[in-house]
Structure 1
Amino acid sequence: MVTIGRSGEIGEGRDLTEGMEKVRTLRQFPLYGSRNEHSAGDTCPTCHGTGKLPRGHEDQLVAVILCNDVRLKPRRTKLYVCASMAACLFICCLILFFLFPRSVTLTPASVLSVMVYFTPTTVEMKVTNLINISNENFVPVQIVEFDIQWLMLHVVEGKTKITNMTAIRSRSQKSYTIQSDLTITDPGLNIYCKSSSIKIHTLYVELQMTMNISYLSHTEQLSLDTYEFIDCGANSTVPHPVW
């Protein structure tokens, strides 16, 4: 019984000492939001409840905002975020739709004329062709270079290169007139074209066309192989379609 009593006395003394230290601390630092020592609350971290801030410590000001302040809970936040995302997605789709590369088509339309000149060992011809170029893009297409090659019996008889062709506007089609010079040196073809006993001197010619185009900061090459027939025995100025 005596031991228990002494322990209790020691515990009470210790609690009394801690309470006195707490009171002394509260007196040194007044409570937060008060100018006296008797108000209930927490100690102000900036001015310790005195309402005054020491000079040179202005950058240590602390702003206190209530948790239920409407400024901390903006209204329609989800609506604004969703609307912004939808607008960005719509703009991206529009950009992709208008800038997505589309096809540029090269099509031979017809043979406009064939002028034939005989020499002792060759047959010289000037062939004028009409070709169509279609641009399905929403941006203009610049033609960098156009090459056309004529082959007869797998032998190249003429080449033409053009570098000054104008650009094709967006979503449009343009026609170009291409004039090429052919020289037939094959003895058998020379006899065939110069023979007066044959009324129709038809040659089937292979055309290999290559076109380099530039648009949207990149370059592409288009190629087309086709066939057409021409009369190598006489001049022909009547247009006829290409087969």
Structure 2
Amino acid sequence: MQLWLETTKLRETVHCPTCDGTGRIPRGQESKLVAVIPCSDQRLRPRHTKLYVAGSVGLCLLACGLVLFFLFPRAVTLSPVAFKSSYVYFTDDSVQINITNLFNITNNNFLAVQAYNLKIQAINFEVVVGTVSIKNVASVKPLSNQMVSFMIPINVTDPGLSNYCKKTSLPVHILYVHLQISMAVYYLAHNEQLSLEAYEYIDCGSNSTKAHNLHPQAP
């Protein structure tokens, strides 16, 4: 019976063409052989594959989110702070006033901001009485404020207003000035134009170093 079973097995099998049934292969043919692995072999289904893929995708999304969070453009604001001082000079037919003001630049970005091309117009009763232009203003650090000081030369040539400022009988000579301010900023590879309007009052008859707040234009 056993001999019959062995004979049957021999009939159903063939010799390995590379090893001739010896279980060994000739030396030098290792690189020419191909191993056939069944689809059900666990080696084709490594553990934690889904975990590795999900972790890689999660890390990529986190990195993209952090880049967008830190590089997303945020607002840069320009706001008035205070009147600092004024110095008055009388001429025969005019009044020259040098006004120094402070304003604040707020940078809400995670990168530095370059402020440039500051332009200010001083207007009194719809008449431009002074202008100033500054090319390089300041470099504002990330998430910080920068205080900037500027001086505006105002020339009052109207005869009535000039006489009013020169009157010695008046204790105070109030002159209201409307400031129109514009400034360009550069950050995150793009430019932005900022504008601001504010009102202030000064004594056009004498020097003043008494600081007071500027009043932004009502919305």
Instruction: Give the TM-score band, short-chain normalised.
Output: 0.7 to 0.9
Q: Give me the whole-angstrom Cα distance separating, in 1, the residues matched to 2:68 and 2:181.
A: 31
Which residue, out of 21, 45, 53, partners 1:73? 45
Q: Which runs of 5+ in 2 are unaligned?
A: 1-9, 20-30
Percent of residue pairs bearing the same amino acid type:
46
Q: Give me the whole-angstrom Cα distance separating, in 2, the residues matched to 1:144 and 1:164.
A: 5
- 1:89 has 2:61 as partner: yes
The Cα of 1:39 is off from its aligned counterpart by 5.2
Partner of 2:96: 124
Q: How does 1:148-227 map to 2 (within 5 A)?
A: 148-227=120-199
The Cα of 1:223 is off from its aligned counterpart by 0.3
Query: Alignment length, in residue pairs?
Result: 198
1:31-81 deviations in whole A, cap 9, x for unaligned? xxxxxx95547xxxxxxx6339xxxxxx99654222222231121111111
Q: Which runs of 5+ in 1 are unaligned?
A: 1-36, 42-48, 53-58
Partner of 2:17: 50
More strand by share: 2
The Cα of 1:150 is off from its aligned counterpart by 0.6
* Amino acid paired to 1:156: V
1:111-146 deviations in whole A, cap 9, x for unaligned? 111101111111111001111111111111111221
Which residue, out of 106, 120, 129, partners 2:78? 106
Q: Give me the whole-angstrom Cα distance separating, in 2, the residues matched to 1:80 and 1:194.
A: 83
Which residue, out of 112, 127, 130, partners 1:140? 112
The Cα of 1:198 is off from its aligned counterpart by 2.2
Partner SS, residue 165 of structure 1: strand
* Amino acid paired to 1:185: T
Query: Considering only aligned residues, what root-mean-square deviation do their CA atoms show, in Å?
Result: 2.4
TM-score (norm 1): 0.74
Q: Give me the whole-angstrom Cα distance separating, in 2, the residues matched to 1:181 and 1:155.
A: 14
Higher relative contact order (CA 8 A, sep 6+): 2
1:143-165 deviations in whole A, cap 9, x for unaligned? 12211111111111111111222
More helix by share: 1
Max Rg structure: 1
Q: Give me the whole-angstrom Cα distance separating, in 2, the residues matched to 1:166 and 1:144.
A: 7
TM-score (norm 2): 0.82
* Amino acid paired to 1:229: Y
